[in-house]
Structures are given as C-alpha cells and as structure tokens.
Structure 1
Amino acid sequence: MTAAETTTVELITAPTDAPASSLTLTDGAAEKVRSLLDQEGRDDLRLRVAVQPGGCSGMQYQLFFDERSLDGDVELSLSGVPVVVDRMSAPYLGGATIDFTDTIEQQGFTIDNPNASGGCACGNSFCG
C-alpha cells in the first residue's frame, strides 16, 4: 500500500453524531494491514484514513501509511492496528467499516459508510 488507495463517495450530510472512534476495521482488513505493515519493516507507520473532495461524485477515501502526526488527529487502535484520522475527515467516518476483499472479481479495501448513499456504475462512487 505504497500508493494511496481511493474510493469515491458522496456524503448525504456533514455528519456530527458519530465520532471517528466508531470507525471499525474487520478482521480481514486488520490482517491485511498488519501484513502490509510487516512488509514495510517500520514500526513508526500507521494507517491513515482520510476523506477528501474529488472523484466523479463528491468525496473520496484515501488509505495510506503515514508516520506524521497532524494537529487534531484522532489516533485509534482497531483490532491491534494503529489508525489515524485527521480532524476534518473524522466526522465523515463515524460508523464506517473498512473491509478487505480478495476474490477473483475484486481485490482491495472497501469502506461501508452509513453517511454515503446510492451507487454509480463505476463501483467506486456513490450518488445521492
């Protein structure tokens, strides 16, 4: 996971109810992240999860390893995986679940986010 992995979403509203601490990582995703961290061979990296404007319909997720600490970061330990979320992304990730899929049809991280609605033909975007 040296390059940022992105998925595009459109968020219904700017959520305020669920904090980033309600973000979850499935066992499969945690296992994959731990494996990738082991490959990197560094103990200062954490999985950074961010939401940024872009993509074909609104917002996109970015997942990447990061050693930085930014002002206002929310630091989590999910299934033994160090995860960090910036303060601007945190409200959008409340209640979201990160999973890892490894099938013939698809391989990669997916994010199930209750703040996103509808699906587009590309499979990576969500429409309102």
Structure 2
Amino acid sequence: MTTTSDTTTEPAAATHGVLLTDVAATKVRTLLEQEGRDDLRLRIAVQPGGCSGLIYQLYFDERTLDGDALRDFDGVEVVVDKMSTPYLDGATIDFADTIEKQGFTIDNPNAGSSCACGDSFS
C-alpha cells in the first residue's frame, strides 16, 4: 500500500551564523522605536575597503534581496547578503556603552587580522 501526501512545504528561508547579543538586540529595538519604524531590519555586510581589505557595514534596511539570509532575535531581524555570509559565520554583534567606547561591536572569528583602528579586517 502506497500513501501520498498532499502537503506542500515551502522551502526554508536561508539563515546565517551571525549572533546578536541581548544587549545589542535591546539597543536595536530602542533605535527602531525612536525612528517610529517597525519595517526595518538590521543588515550586516562585508565590503571591500579599509586598510586590511574588508570593512563591515551595519545599517537598517527595509529591503530583502534575493539570496539574503535572515535570522530573528526575539523580534529583531538580522539580515546578511549571500556574499557576506561566509565571512560572517560565527560573528557576534554586541553593543558597548562605556567611557572608552560606545557603539556596536563585531567579534568575528573569521577575521585573520585587523587594522589598528579596528574598522577593517582580512
């Protein structure tokens, strides 16, 4: 006896290995509330540039592009484009708020080296 299933499943959305800490997620939520926007997601990308070869881009984006990988962190969506995904696998986005530093930080185990300013890596 053969049984068939009429259930059609949608292909799973691509995901990525970037982690967003609770502190960073809270900061993103706060920034979005200040903007009065609930249609934006946090995009992280890697682009050529800087003194070490690659730089991070971190910004709010309302678009999703073909091949984007998306991951939800308790209501905060983080999106990574297809080309940046391998460079960012295992990276952690945090938010620092100290006397020495304020802003988002990226701890990336894939970065072999970085420049003195910390804005670019290879």
Shared fold (TM-score greater than 0.5)?
Answer: yes
1:31 to 26, 33, 46: 26
Matched, 1:120 2:118: no
Give how far 1:20 is off: 5.7
Find the structure with the greater CA-based Rg: 2
Q: Distance in 1 between matches of 2:15 and 2:83?
A: 10
- Secondary structure of 1:42's counterpart equals coil
Q: 1:78 Cα deviation (Å)?
A: 2.1
Q: Does 1:50 align with 2:45?
A: yes
Q: Which of the pair has the greater relative contact order for Cα pairs under 8 Å at 6+ separation?
A: 1
**2:100 alignment counterpart:** 105
Residue 59 of structure 2 aligns with which residue?
64
Report the CA distance shift for 1:20/1:58 in structure 2 as closer, same or farther (over 3 A): farther
Q: Is residue 82 of structure 1 aligned with residue 97 of structure 2?
A: no
Matched residue pairs, number? Answer: 109
**Structure 1, 41-50 or 19-28: larger mean CA deviation:** 19-28
TM-score, scaled relative to structure 2: 0.81
- Residue deviations 1:53-75 (CA, integer Å, cap 9, x gap): 01111111111111111111111
> Runs of 5+ in structure 2 lacking a partner?
1-13
TM-score relative to the length of structure 1: 0.78
Amino-acid identity (%): 71
Q: Which runs of 5+ in 1 are unaligned?
A: 1-18
